[in-house]
Structure 1
Amino acid sequence: MSNVTNPNRWTLRAALAALAFSTAMGLSAAHADSITVYTSYEEDEIAAFLEKAKADLPDLDVNVLRLSTGDLHARILAEAANPQHDVIWGWAVTSMIDPRIGELLEAYQPQGIDRIADQFRDKDGKWFATTGYMAAFCVNNEVLKAKNLPMPTSWADLTKPEYKGEVVMPNPASSGTGYLMIASILQMMGEEKGWEYLKALDANIAQYIKSGSRPCNAASEGEFAIGASFALRAIKNIGEGYPITMVIPSEGAGNELEANALMAGSKNKDAARRFLDWTVSENAVNEYYNWKEIVTATGGAMPQKFRDAGLPEDISSVMWKMDFASSAENRALVLERWQRELER
């Protein structure tokens, strides 16, 4: 990796158990605008999106800190008295609508915001969602065959005794994907039956993994039969040749929107607004479609590889209609109970 002072290269560096991405685009740092962005996008998504941003914003330095959804939530609140970033980018709406977070945001309507339907925008203009993701299972075909296991089709299937020790899923306390799974199950089944189900599922869980993508990777590599993850990770791993099938649970896929916002405490608001404008630009939207099963902006088209992996053209047909306000309001109580009764 080249040194960050080289204006034509980007570097990736470790930072506090996260990945920080630094870009020095076009002009020298001495003459370029600079912003710090916090995100929960996956590392490969960040790299692809910022490659496009580099071409469109050659005079903007973008320093990015990536943390999982839960860890980023804790960090932003811990820094509330002295925010260290200018922009929140690609972060779960369920976390964004926390009133404590809302107090730290400044309303901004970026150029091109009309491409985003009202249902994906905060009524007060403090955030707008451009992308999203939904739950899916990564099922290893070879492990199923070797152990003579049936293909699961639903959340209900995962509690069957034959899958004991063969299921891994994200830890909802740290992973946005993990929390959307728990929240959607409780919304689908109701609180009492939902918790009964989660306890039955826990009996078959081999591990709760911190990341939303790693359960799919573990299943893809044959460590377990089933990794509860998100659809795009399954699609990516199928494209890379792993022997897995993507299964969207028949009850409906829990989902999350990923939103962007301007920090009220930013000292670089003009540059931050330029970046937020870019996040709804045509080039940004076209790139989102290479990585995201949910893109809220008009324009672009679902890639063929998504359809080949089993994603329907109308993804709304398989998505559970999430109550994001309920997910946010009950998050602390749900996670406290989950950690008390199920975390290990």
Structure 2
Amino acid sequence: MLPRGYLFLLLLLFSLFQAYPECAFSRKENDLSIPGKNVEKLAIITSFPPEFYQPFINVFNELHPLIQISILNKKTTAALAEIQRGNQRKFDLFWSSSTDAFEVLQQTGRLLQSGFHLQYPSLKINGLNLQDHDGYFYSFALSGVGYMWNNRFLKENQLPPPTGWHSLSDQVYYGQVAMSTPSRSGTTHLIVESILQKMGWQQGWAYLIKASGNFNTITARSFSVPEGIVNGRFGIGLVIDFLAQRQKSLNREIQFEYGKPVVLIPAGIALLNGAENIASAEQFLTFVLSPPDRKSFSPRQSVACRS
């Protein structure tokens, strides 16, 4: 039987170099119907969980009550497969934190190059404009990756709080760490990439192999990691910030730290080929890309930041 670390290495190698196969998924739909005449429609497919997108939807519907929104939540890979098959259900927008997904969809001709013009300043990092210059997709927020933990769990198990990426590979955390599989989670794919960028190829893989020896589980979906930490299934998890921050705001025992140095990742949104509700989609784009003070809710409830 192969050691746990080598099994995890095989999983990562398989997931990082495959071309986004179709995966099984759990379906969640959010249909907001407004009775009356002249109701417009908007169909969105997203890899974000309801905890992320619901504040956006709630405020947008207050501003545009005659736009009926339907949302399909899928894993990043499953969403890609749905769109790559031709977008048969005519989704108007794809909404995700996976930069790779937008690149794949653009290269395969699945995104709609629109004449949409930004009404607000573009998202930037150190002066670098993050918008696609050809108008295929738009960055609306910056996220970072790190690790979250449950203070109560650590105290009950007499474990110290983690102090950095390297501390997660310490043997004291054997069986106490979790992450989701990069082959199904776009956010975890980004976590692995950010670690490799920070540590370099050889040291990064050496770290991932060593840290994987402490893994309690590899979950199918990224938001299963914070749920497991809150429920006391395990003590520490590798997560993207917007999944951790909401749990932290609801539970004082939950803590989150960014990995150092902080790697910022742009979350994006794009019009899809086959979209049938362009006007409604562009209204939603305008809303999502607007500064936080125009959304009437705190962006920290849902998203890391916008510069």
Q: What does 1:196-275 correspond to in 2, within 5 Å?
A: 196-249=206-259, 251-275=260-284
Following superposition, the deviation at residue 134 of structure 1 comes to 1.8
Answer whether contact 2:177 2:214 (CA < 8 A) is retained: yes
Query: In the aligned structure 1, how far is the partner of 2:80 from the partner of 2:290?
Result: 27
**3-state secondary structure, aligned to 2:61:** helix
Following superposition, the deviation at residue 288 of structure 1 comes to 5.9
When residues 176 and 99 of structure 1 are mapped into structure 2, their CA distance, relative to the original with a 3 A threshold, is closer
Amino acid in structure 2 at the alignment position of 1:238: K
Answer whether contact 1:180 1:254 (CA < 8 A) is retained: no
Amino acid in structure 2 at the alignment position of 1:252: P
When residues 199 and 89 of structure 1 are mapped into structure 2, their CA distance, relative to the original with a 3 A threshold, is same
Following superposition, the deviation at residue 274 of structure 1 comes to 2.5
* 2:58 aligns with one of 51, 54, 70: 51
Query: In the aligned structure 2, how far is the partner of 1:259 from the partner of 1:113?
Result: 16
Q: Does 1:39 align with 2:46?
A: yes
Query: In the aligned structure 2, how far is the partner of 1:169 from the partner of 1:254?
Result: 18
Residues 54-63 or 219-228, more deviating: 219-228
**3-state secondary structure, aligned to 1:126:** coil
Query: In the aligned structure 2, how far is the partner of 1:77 from the partner of 1:288?
Result: 34
Query: In the aligned structure 1, how far is the partner of 2:193 from the partner of 2:41?
Result: 37
The aligned residue for residue 63 of structure 1 is 70
Answer whether contact 1:180 1:255 (CA < 8 A) is retained: no
Residues 177-186 or 280-289, more deviating: 280-289
Q: Does 1:172 align with 2:182?
A: yes
When residues 156 and 141 of structure 1 are mapped into structure 2, their CA distance, relative to the original with a 3 A threshold, is same
Following superposition, the deviation at residue 102 of structure 1 comes to 5.6
Query: In the aligned structure 1, how far is the partner of 2:287 from the partner of 2:151?
Result: 41
* CA deviation profile, 1:116-146 (whole Å, cap 9, x unmatched): 2462210101111112322222222222223
The aligned residue for residue 29 of structure 2 is 20
Q: CA RMSD in A?
A: 2.5
Aligned-residue identity in percent: 21
Following superposition, the deviation at residue 164 of structure 1 comes to 0.8
Structure 2, unaligned stretches of length 5 or more?
A: 1-24
The aligned residue for residue 306 of structure 1 is none
The aligned residue for residue 99 of structure 2 is 93
User: TM-score by structure 1 length?
Assistant: 0.73
* CA deviation profile, 1:59-99 (whole Å, cap 9, x unmatched): 1111111112232122221335x462111124422210125
Structure 1, unaligned stretches of length 5 or more?
A: 1-15, 298-344
The aligned residue for residue 8 of structure 1 is none
Query: In the aligned structure 2, how far is the partner of 1:294 from the partner of 1:120?
Result: 15
Amino acid in structure 2 at the alignment position of 1:277: T
When residues 112 and 59 of structure 1 are mapped into structure 2, their CA distance, relative to the original with a 3 A threshold, is same
